[in-house]
Structure 1
Amino acid sequence: MIRRPEVFDDETPPPDLRHREAHVQELIRLLHRARSDHDQGALLAGPSGVGKTALGRTVLQEFAREFGTRWVWIQALGTTTGELFREAIRGAGGTVADNAPNDELPARLRETLAGEELFLLLDEADDIAGTDAVGQLTSVPGVEIVVICHEPDDWLARAESGVRQYLHGGRIELDRFGVDELADILRDRARVGLVDNAVTRDQLETIADDVAGVAREGIQTLRAAAEIAVEREHGRIYDADVDDAYERARASIRKANLRSLPFHHRVLYELIRDAGEITGRELHQQYEEIEEQVYANRERTPISRRDRRNKLDKLRAYDLVERERLDHRWLYSTKQKNLSSGIELVTEMATN
């Protein structure tokens, strides 16, 4: 049934950017402008699973191949400005020690580039708004930035004025796909990844409609339906297999999302999971009670309440945590009780 399972992996680029042609052309236009004026970046925005990363990586790869420019994809979630500089230096072909002083990094990046251009694709960059990371990176001649985030208005509101000006006019927002559009995308994956005639167009449209046009969820639901069909020894995907695939797909996506999150997010997640249900005030109190033990002997340091709130928003955006109003308080709980972050907070608390 499943001929090429890698076709359904998040890391596998799509065969083409179907139904994103206008966004492709707009991003290419912005990259050309960045090369000529050096005062224009791009901001790719939209909800999770609509193809922001695929768009950025595919266009930059083709652009670099055609014009001989360097580019680096960096997962910016949970990173510091110094770490971003180190990733940029290494991606540009240079070497830098992890303990190199931050104030030396811009000069090191400039020396590495030696007048060449470097495009940085900063993925999951919600946290770096307001840190001046983009401003410091673009102060190095030849460095241009493409930012990927979820909420563009919020991101720009928190950014410095110079960064807002740099990204002004470079905003590209991706919406969810229509039913027919997503069904086309799923058909492309099915043709390559599944045996012939494994799934019908009606089933693909049903999946596309039920996942509300979110490509990632649609692709993972198709994979899950095929897996269930194999387990049930079906020769093709039945409607019942599709019906039972949604929760498996969501669980798979949650697991991947949690695995991709930095330490701070997983600490907060595990506190919520351990409690079952917990108010925002109790969550902050428990975090502050355990932070000394949990962060001991780690490079990371505990984060502020404001930063914690931002991390909680990310947990909700990733469908890991839900929040409801309870008597003027927020009550948090996890979506999947048996999904562990791998951090043994209970043990650490009990032994300290």
Structure 2
Amino acid sequence: MITDARVLQSEFIPREVQHRDAEVNYLSSVLDPITHGQRADPALLHGPSGAGKTCIAQFLVEQLRGEVVDLNYQYVNCWEDHSRFKALYRLLDGIGQTVDVHRQSTPKDVLLERLRESENTPYVVILDEVDQLEDKSLLYDLYRIPHLTMILICNDEDGLFVSMDDRLNSRLTDCERIRFRSYHESELVAILSDRVRWGLTDGSIDTSCLELIAANAGGDARIAIGILRRAARKAKGEPVDKITADIIHEETPEAKSEIKQRTVDRLTPHQKILYNIITETGKIAPQQLYSAYCNRAEDPKTKRMVRNYLSKLEHYNLITAEGNTKARIYRTRA
């Protein structure tokens, strides 16, 4: 039933993209100077999870690499590489400059200087989950590198800029912003149809079942693809010749749980403390949450930073916030 398992992964970059023509055209125009050997202005892609931000960014950079002979490129997941050192290391790795870098002893300033002094070949970097960077001043330093173009990706535009200092805000306020909305169910069906065509045998799933998956995904392409992947694997091991509605109903909660656990595993230490406290208490008010957090964290962050962390947990559907500021209650999402 499964002919190409790669296309059933949410990280797979498709050969064509569905229902994002406006966003593709806009970002393509922003990146056009690179085809003329110039640096492009920074671009900020923002919107909910599973809306295609990362996919579109990588899709267009791959197209650029086909047009521009000398073009360096690196993708950085700032949730995983959230420290200044890790992010710089990843960027240097993209141009093969990490051979003699020692993670324990090489100063961060040396990494930045090496990146500045690297060859002037155009370098496009995608900084995904950029709001997760611990040291946002890195963005200012990268902005000042003449041959480097930044594509920034985050959920919440306001949450990103509120954590920046005035110097960085003045540089990035005018960056090109591209807002992504959640997918409609019909759009998810089209996306899933492509994945089925590329990765499953003919007749392995009916349109009605794709519509069922889309209805269960809540506008999130990652969840939709995750349900399809689990359903295909389940059907492969069953005495059936196609994916059925019963299999989809059975695998939907498992797919959502899998994605949720993957998200929890990627939380930074401070975010994980907050998430664990909310999970343990069931519901908790902001002041009690902050007090409990300060008791557990070795180096507690400010209340403003903690609010940013909580906003991130909300965007990834790990928690819910009910009520206004004074009467707010945080709960874990089922």
Q: Give TM-score, length-normalised by structure 1.
A: 0.82
1:127 aligns with 2:132: yes
Q: CA RMSD in A?
A: 2.8
Equivalent residues in 2 for 1:39-118, closer than 5 Å: 40-67=41-68, 68-77=70-79, 79-95=82-98, 96-98=101-103, 99-111=105-117, 113-118=118-123
Contact in 2 for aligned 1:207/1:221 (Cα 8 Å) = yes
Corresponding residue of 2:146: 141
Kindly provide the amino acid, as one letter, of the partner of residue 121 in structure 1: I
Kindly provide the amino acid, as one letter, of the partner of residue 59 in structure 1: L
- Post-superposition Cα deviations, 1:134-184, rounded to whole Å, max 9, x if no partner, equal 111121231111100112244345444555544625112222223332211
Contact in 2 for aligned 1:15/1:188 (Cα 8 Å) = no
Cα–Cα, structure 1 residues 85 and 251, in superposed 2: closer, same or farther, change >3 Å?
same
Structure 1 residue 123 displacement after superposition: 0.2
Corresponding residue of 2:330: 332
Secondary structure in structure 2 of the residue aligned to 1:272: helix
How many Å separate the matches in 2 of 1:169 and 1:328? Answer: 34
Corresponding residue of 1:26: 26
Contact in 1 for aligned 2:44/2:178 (Cα 8 Å) = yes
Contact in 1 for aligned 2:38/2:122 (Cα 8 Å) = no
Structure 1 residue 254 displacement after superposition: 0.3
Secondary structure in structure 1 of the residue aligned to 2:272: helix
Secondary structure in structure 2 of the residue aligned to 1:100: coil
Corresponding residue of 1:10: 10
Corresponding residue of 1:238: 244
Cα–Cα, structure 1 residues 321 and 286, in superposed 2: closer, same or farther, change >3 Å?
same
- Post-superposition Cα deviations, 1:267-326, rounded to whole Å, max 9, x if no partner, equal 22222223333332222222222223xxxxxxxx54333222211211221122223349
How many Å separate the matches in 2 of 1:322 and 1:10? Answer: 25
Q: Unmatched 5+ residue regions in structure 2?
A: none
Secondary structure in structure 1 of the residue aligned to 2:17: coil
- Post-superposition Cα deviations, 1:79-112, rounded to whole Å, max 9, x if no partner, equal 133432222122221123333223333322122x
1:319 aligns with 2:283: no
- Which structure has more RCO (C-alpha within 8 Å, separation ≥ 6)? 2
Q: Unmatched 5+ residue regions in structure 1?
A: 293-300, 337-352
Secondary structure in structure 1 of the residue aligned to 2:297: helix
| Aligned partner of 2:177 among 171, 179, 188 | 171
- Post-superposition Cα deviations, 1:19-59, rounded to whole Å, max 9, x if no partner, equal 22332232222122356654611111111001111111121
Secondary structure in structure 1 of the residue aligned to 2:22: helix
| Aligned partner of 1:254 among 246, 260, 280 | 260
Identity value in percent: 28
Contact in 2 for aligned 1:50/1:215 (Cα 8 Å) = yes
Corresponding residue of 1:348: none
Secondary structure in structure 2 of the residue aligned to 1:261: coil
Contact in 1 for aligned 2:84/2:135 (Cα 8 Å) = no
Structure 1 residue 207 displacement after superposition: 2.6
Equivalent residues in 2 for 1:238-317, closer than 5 Å: 238-292=244-298, 301-317=299-315
How many Å separate the matches in 1 of 2:159 and 2:40? Answer: 22
How many Å separate the matches in 2 of 1:193 and 1:250? Answer: 21
Structure 1 residue 257 displacement after superposition: 1.2
Corresponding residue of 2:188: 182
How many Å separate the matches in 2 of 1:132 and 1:151? Answer: 18
How many Å separate the matches in 1 of 2:122 and 2:144? Answer: 13
Kindly provide the amino acid, as one letter, of the partner of residue 253 in structure 2: E
Q: Give TM-score, length-normalised by structure 2.
A: 0.86
Cα–Cα, structure 1 residues 129 and 149, in superposed 2: closer, same or farther, change >3 Å?
farther
